[in-house]
Chains A and B, each alone.
Chain A
Amino acid sequence: MAEDRSLPEHVTTPLLSLITQQALEEDYRSVAERRLREGGAQERPPSRAVAAVVIAVFGILISVAAVQNSRNEEVETAGRTTLIARIGEARNDLEDRQARIADLTRENRQLTDSLAELGTVRVQAVSRLRGLQVVAGYFPAAGEGVRVVVNDNPIGDAVQRVTDADLAMLVDGLWEAGAEAIAINDQRLNPLGSIRNVGLAVHVNTVPLTPPYVVRAIGDTRTLQADLLNTTHGAQFFSLADQLGFEYSMDNVSELELPAARQRPLSSVESGTAEQRRDRGAEEEES
């Protein structure tokens, strides 16, 4: 390492050692040496006034720094206290919010449960509504079913004509046999429908019909005909038809389309439950 030796000492010395060695200002030493060289005789009288002033400045620096620090300390303490208070508040707030989250989660779960229940109820209600709508003839209905064509006795007298009672008997038999929707000559029957004789003509839903009467009933084609013959009204109707010599035929149809029943406007019915109506009445009285 020949080139290392050529480097000056202050370069090769480790930094920390250098700092330690040169802790004392080099200048003190060099000035002292110079003074010695120039002759130690001319010792100046030690006037330390400038050094004292610098020391005083040092004292001012220290005390100012200390004062400033203690002042800052107060501010910082106040700031810290405020911060701690704010942390506490925020933590309380957080706790409140977490409690609220828990509450809301619980409520949410309950609501989900009740939603599921209500969904089931709704599905049941909707299927019930559909059943009722079919029975009430609210919508046109389509499906497989049975068609019964009945006509007057072609050679008979007035007694041997098809009357409202005969058709009603047939319709009752069909309902009993499990028909879901019935129409006579495109007049859909529902619980409010009527079959009446006015003079010689049969009126269904107050619309006069002419023979032949086509009774169409939607139901299970596999069982409807047989069940009709087994019911009291069905059996009565067919024996009566045989006695009076009605022309009739009955066959299964794979696709029947029945129109909707005529809807009467409701004049007395109000919507809502009894409780809701009472509340509404109270509100109206108040206003």
Chain B
Amino acid sequence: MIAALGLLVGILLGLVFQPDVPLSLEPYLPIAVVAALDAVFGGLRAYLDGIFDDKVFVVSFLSNVFIAASIVYLGDQLGVGGQLTTGVIVVLGIRIFSNVAAIRRHLFHA
């Protein structure tokens, strides 16, 4: 409940203030969002499994976002940013899908 409230507050804050992202960070924002999405779904699944832990969630969230952005930044510096972005998206996408599948099993028992 408090998590959903936090999400709502965050979205509203973002929409109200509409902060300008520095141009140099702009390419890493989408990949950061996908990494965060992965951490959030992982946390939700852990919550439903009954093994949720605040510390693990926070650490996984921050490290996911940071590592994903770093990998893409490194790829940009090496000239393979597009390919590395694709690789990160694929891995995170698979994780998101399997986590969502587990969540679905919990919610609908199917």
Binding site for B on A (CB under 8 A): 16, 19-20, 22-25, 27-29, 31-32, 47-69
Contacts and interface: CB of A to CB of B under 8 A. Distances in A.
Given A24-B49, A63-B15, A58 B56 contact: no
Contacts of B3: 48, 51-52, 55
Q: Is the interface of A mostly helix, strand, loop or mixed?
A: helix
B11 interface: yes
Contact of A23 (B43, B65, B99): B99
Interface in B1-54: 2-3, 5-15, 18-19, 21, 26, 29-30, 32-33, 36-37, 39-40, 42-43, 45-46, 49-54
Nearest to B101: A23
B66 to A, nearest CB: 13
Nearest to A26: B56
B99 A59 contact: no
Contacts of B8: 59
Contacts of B29: 61, 64-65, 68
B98 A23 contact: yes
B61 A54 contact: yes
Interface string B80-100: 000000000001001110110
A242 to B, nearest CB: 113
Given A23-B99, A56-B6, A67-B18, A61 B51 contact: no
A47 B54 contact: yes
Interface in B57-84: 57-62, 65
